[in-house]
Structure 1
Amino acid sequence: MNKSFENMFKNNHLSIGIFSPIESYSGNIPKMKNQTRLIQKVEEYGFSTIWTRDIPLNNPSFGDVGQMYDPFIYLIYLASCTNKISLAIGSLILPFRHPINVAKSINSLNNLSEGRFILGVATGDRPVEYKAHNVDFENRGEIFRESMKYIDTLVSFEFPTIRNKLGSITNEDLLPKSKFGKVPILVTGHSQQSVEWISKNSDGWIYYPQNSSIQQKRIENWKDELIKNNKEFKPFIQSLYIDLASEPELKPTPIHLGYRLGRNSLIELLKEQQSIGINHIIINLKYCRREAESVIDELGKYVLPLFTKQLGD
């Protein structure tokens, strides 16, 4: 694996990343102001990863278009503006892109960022986007499996022979080759697959926030599947929306996919998440009532050091 995987994911430890845009906003479309400076600040504080999403179309009923840019192009730009922070897509909608193009893009981005790239993949869940791409929504699980197999073969072997429903290769090779280790590929949600399949065919699992007792059972199931298939440690990753209050002791109250809370409550929540086996939390600031920069400063000064120190032990 590349160095991002080794730096971000360690058994029994928790690392913290952040979603782009680093911005609080209402509605679908962010302003995208001062993002480069904020991402450089995030890197200076020691956040492990900047995450970006693959949202091809503005669907008003969904309520969020993420950072808007093509994720590969945006991360290439961010690679040129940063030095050490890992760069991740969470997640690429795999059935909308041919696996040859995906494989070429991930190796290109990994080389240009000197091994800082991580790829999350998913099927997506919006029929309207499948219709727009002229891809069969009901068959998305099979397309996803075939894409994963195609990509893995392309990046793992020279001049491979590939024959599946997505295409055939008999005497061609993928360029560039990765100079910095294989790009980790993480599956988001179930993506129409079983936990057994995900444990065998991915490098980790990204899931949505859940009640801690429910999430703990899911993580225990994940670890059981890894043991059953003689697999080494593979990380469990979770997103988390926060509305960080100015009062450090404010107790958590639920918001969409997260909580409004003070920093001391956030610290306790993150410690609990680590204790149940979560290895990486991706913080999203969309619903924050405060300016994003002040939230980043507070997280960087008071929260992050408690967890980055552990990773360095």
Structure 2
Amino acid sequence: MSLGVELPLDNDLAAGGSAGKGLPSTFGIPDLQGHRQRAVLADRLGFKALWLRDVPLWIPEFGDAGQVFDPFTYLGFLAGVTDNILLGTAAVVLPLRHPLHVAKMAATIDQLSGGRLILGVASGDRPAEYPNFGVDFESRGEQYRTAVSTLRRLWRDSSELPTTSMKVLPAPHGSSIPLISVGRSQQSTEWVAENMDGYMTYHRSAHFMKPVTDKWKHSVPDGQYKPAITTMLVDLLEDPDAPVEPIRFGARLGRHQLQSYLSDLEDSGVAHVALNFRPSSQPVEEALEEIAEYVLPAFTGDATVPSAR
């Protein structure tokens, strides 16, 4: 298994976070100061991937603006300030973006980063966004399938457009770009396993994760490797021996229990975990450095990254 980091890199969800420190803050809108330094630090420390989300519109009722920045613009910036860490989306909302734009932007990021892009895609789950884009919410599953097919075709042969003299440039850095499904996006597990290069699901403890990964592995065509990926909210406590206290989509715990918790996820069939430090009572830098020193050496798998078909 390998470990990555999910943006935004702040402590916005922690008690006494940005608002408690006298900084301007609205709940759900992260403090973006220091993001460059923290992304560079995660790269230098050896984390496998940086993951960011696509939240087109901030809806106060959801209380979550993601990492605020447009994902493709931000990925271009991150490609320029990092060297080795993979750059992943979790996830681009395909029905709200034209697939020709997505194909071009993703291939651009892939070229600028030297082939480090993993494109996580989804159908979206916020109905209020769709009317603003003139898109039908109920047909998002069908639109998602069409967009996935279009992306595959364009990256394989960009001349396959209705007017064959037109092409989408640039081509990806390699033969294609890994596509992972974030959630099932209104599709069956079997469709996702057949058509995508990996599957990211929301966090569960190992006991509840194993049936999910077992079903995934049994659905993946024989002879193909398609990893199961998850995220985890982490409140890393200063006491390294602090026991596990479950929180929504993660846990509050010390580093010794974190290593054990992650090992259990690995045993359940998870190939990669993206750690999210928003609820952490420790500053992000300190949590990154502590995990890199004491936990990361046990999780440095290289075969946990999806490869493009």
Query: TM-score scaled by structure 1?
Result: 0.89
State the Cα RMSD in Å. Answer: 1.4
The aligned residue for residue 39 of structure 2 is 39
Residue 192 of structure 2 aligns to which amino acid in structure 1?
I
SS in structure 1 opposite 2:295?
helix
Q: CA deviation at 1:106?
A: 0.9
Tell me the distance in 1 between the aligned counterparts of 2:232 and 2:137.
28
Alignment of 1:45-60 (within 5 A): 45-60=45-60
Given the superposition, is the C-alpha separation of residues 244 and 169 from structure 1 closer, same or farther in structure 2, using an over 3 Å criterion? farther
Residue 190 (structure 1) aligns with: 184
Whole-angstrom CA distance in 1 between matches of 2:159 and 2:41: 43
Q: CA deviation at 1:246?
A: 0.6
Instruction: Summarize deviations over 1:111-144 as a string: whole Å, max 9, x none.
Output: 1111111100001111101122121111110010
Contact kept? 1:160, 1:171, Cα under 8 Å: no
Pick one of 20, 26, 45 that aligns with 2:7.
20
- Alpha-carbon distance in 2 for matches of 1:115, 1:297: 26
Give the CA deviation at 1:230. 3.1
Pairing 1:68-217 to 2, within 5 Å after superposition: 68-160=68-160, 168=162, 170-217=164-211
Partner of 1:264 in structure 2?
A: 256
8 Å CA contact retained: 1:115, 1:181: no
Q: CA deviation at 1:311?
A: 4.3
Partner Cα distance (2:298, 2:173) in 1:
33
Residue aligning to 1:241:
233
The aligned residue for residue 273 of structure 1 is 265
Letter in 2 for 1:213: H
CA–CA distance in 2 between the matches of 1:297 and 1:158? 43
Structure 1 counterpart of 2:275, one-letter code? I
Q: CA deviation at 1:181?
A: 3.4
Gaps of 5+ in 2: 14-26, 304-309
Distance 1:128 1:40 in 2: 35
**Equivalent residue of 2:90, what SS?**
strand
Query: 260, 268, 290: which one pairs with 1:298?
Result: 290
1:38-88 residue CA offsets vs partner (Å, 9 max, x unmatched): 111111110011111100111111122121111010010111111111111
8 Å contact from structure 2 (residues 110, 177) kept in 1 = yes
Q: For the residues of structure 1 that align with 2:131 and 2:257, how far apart are their CA atoms? A: 43
Q: Displacement of 1:200 after TM fit?
A: 0.8
Q: Deviations over 1:168-197 (max 9, x none)?
A: 555432211123331101001110000000
Contact 2:155–2:175 (8 Å) recurs in 1: no
- Relative to the length of structure 2, the TM-score reads 0.90
The runs of 5 or more residues in structure 1 that have no matched partner are 1-13, 162-167
Residue 254 of structure 1 corresponds to 246
